[in-house]
Amino acid sequence: MHRTVSGLNRRLIALLCAVAILAALSGGIACEQETSGDKLTVVTTIFPLADFVKNVAGDKVEVVTLLRSGDSPHTYEPSSRDMKAVARAKLLVINGAGLDFWAEKLKSAASDNLAVVDTSLVLEQEGLLLSGGEHEYDDESDDHSGVNPHFWLDPVLAQKQVESIASALVAVDPGNQDSYLDNADSYIGELKSLDEEIKNATQSFSSREFITFHASWTYFAKRYDLVEAAVIQEAPGKEPSVAYIKEVVDLAEALQVKAIFAEPQFNTQAAEAIADDSGAEVLLLDPLGGPSLEGRDSYIILMRYNVAQMEKAMG
């Protein structure tokens, strides 16, 4: 059975961090024995990961998020600003599973002491990653071709990401081990409560099927016994054909859906066309959120926002 951070032997983590954690991090660097008085810089690719880091590290690190509010990781290109941030970072936290494939470009700017934690690795090792089929990131040069990378939207799997982040922080900054692990344990408790809250809310939905922009909500749907009946964009950057839109309209009418779910990181034109033709309305589900977005400025608040949006159409 997978144990939470609180169930791990903390002394063992410190002793084995170079083997158990940093062996999976780029560069294979050893654990740091000392840290300076300055805050460590931790760079994350997407906002939910940044919020995980902040909840684990508190004020002991400076967190930099590469994607700004409104950016999509599927179409993102690192900037010179991002290169500079990575150059001074101690730890880079990526989602993995092909979502932030462009993070590879950042390594050229990284110092030799940069550690990179891929939060998908533990999920892959435990067989928890879902196939995305034709709907997801598809690059034959990537080991995660066809894998759906949106697992952070399942609060149960997010707990495993938090554990990976806590272990990585211990590896690069063992002097603050107890603080990191205590904070992680507390935050995982909050995520467990969030899971129960969402479970109770979704159990009362009168409709179990929904249509969304792309396959961001597959893990969420599986966790809470919902059905992602169709997606508008079958692959990132692939605009739907007129014939495909007609198929989705027919399905929306057959299911009598009240809303078509779009995403704020993408153009809503196709969703609006389907909604107009099927008599539904357009509502937004936001998989990423951001610190500048009121009502979506933490992971837990973001998930509550999305459940409330679903409830409007499915409750």
Distance in angstroms (rounded) separating the CA atoms of residues 230 and 252: 9
**Which pLDDT value is given to residue 238?**
76
**Which pLDDT value is given to residue 138?**
40
Query: Are 64 and 109 in contact, with CB atoms under 8 Å apart?
Result: no
**Which pLDDT value is given to residue 229?**
95
- Nearest Cα to Cα of residue 74 among 265, 271, 211, 284: 265
Residue-range domains of the chain with CATH = 5-194 (3.40.50.1980), 197-314 (3.40.50.1980)
Q: What is the CA radius of gyration of the chain?
A: 20
**Which pLDDT value is given to residue 139?**
43
With a CB cutoff of 8 Å and minimum separation 6, the contacts of 263 are 212, 213, 214, 216, 284, 285, 286, 287
Query: Are 135 and 230 in contact, with CB atoms under 8 Å apart?
Result: no
**Which pLDDT value is given to residue 240?**
87
**Which pLDDT value is given to residue 9?**
47
Three-class secondary structure assignment of the chain:
CCCCHHHCCHHHHHHHHHHHCHHHCHHHCCCCCCCCCCCEEEEECCHHHHHHHHHHHHHHEEEEECCCCCCCCCCCCCCHHHHHHHHCCCEEEECCCCCCHHHHHHHHHCCCCCEEEECCHHHHHCCCCCECHHHCCCCCCCCCCCECCCHHHCHHHHHHHHHHHHHHHHHHCHHHHHHHHHHHHHHHHHHHHHHHHHHHHHHCCCCCEEEECCHHHHHHHHHCCCEEEEECCCCCCCCCCHHHHHHHHHHHHHHCCCEEEECCCCCCHHHHHHHHHHCCEEEECCCCCCCCCCCCCCHHHHHHHHHHHHHHHHC
**Which pLDDT value is given to residue 106?**
85
**Which pLDDT value is given to residue 107?**
78
pLDDT in tens, the chain (315 residues): 333 444 444 444 443 443 334 444 444 333 333 334 578 999 999 999 999 999 999 999 999 999 988 788 888 888 989 999 999 999 999 999 999 999 888 877 787 889 999 999 999 999 999 987 443 444 443 444 589 999 999 999 999 999 999 999 999 999 999 999 999 999 999 999 999 999 999 999 999 999 999 899 999 999 999 999 999 987 766 788 999 999 999 999 999 999 999 999 888 899 999 999 999 999 999 999 999 898 899 999 999 999 999 999 998
Which residues on adjacent β-strands are paired with residue 123?
A: none
